[in-house]
Homo-oligomer: A and B are copies of this chain.
């Protein structure tokens, strides 16, 4: 009584790939979020730190994080309270604030980046396999659209 019986071979193959892609990304996200939690960061705080390799305005960061600018206020608040980032005035536009990572923030980010390799789902793949995977994902993405960072 399974309704899958009338799916074409290609449809079944696509479904297999989609399922695995979702599962794998679920693992990647869980891995990242677990590590963030160990550093006492919410996932969004960790992603913010991750995206402040160079200073950005609040609204630019909102774009990077694919969220509304109003959310960034709270994220920046808590990172600043912990001394991981600073709000600095923008010389060219007094409406803007430049979010700059402090030395303590750089240290924490570096520590997180170092530890992220442990238990990473992609450890199982060799360099050649990773490169092949990247190229296949590129081919699929080429037909679709822009980028997204994490």
Contact = CB atoms under 8 A, between A and B. Distances in A.
Interface in A2-19: 2-4, 7, 10-11, 13-14, 16-19
A37 B133 CA distance: 31
Given A3-B109, A53-B4, A21 B11 contact: no
Contacts of A133: 17, 133, 136-137, 140
Q: Helix, strand, loop or mixed for chain A's interface?
A: helix
Copies in the complex: 2
A117 interface: yes
Interface residues of A, number: 59
Contacts of A148: 19, 22-23, 26
Given A19-B148, A109-B3, A124 B143 contact: yes
13 contacts: A2-B54, A3-B110, A4-B53, A10-B130, A11-B117, A14-B130, A19-B148, A20-B134, A20-B138, A21-B24, A22-B29, A23-B148, A133-B133
Given A18-B122, A123-B143, 4 more contacts: A10-B130, A22-B28, A22-B29, A121-B143
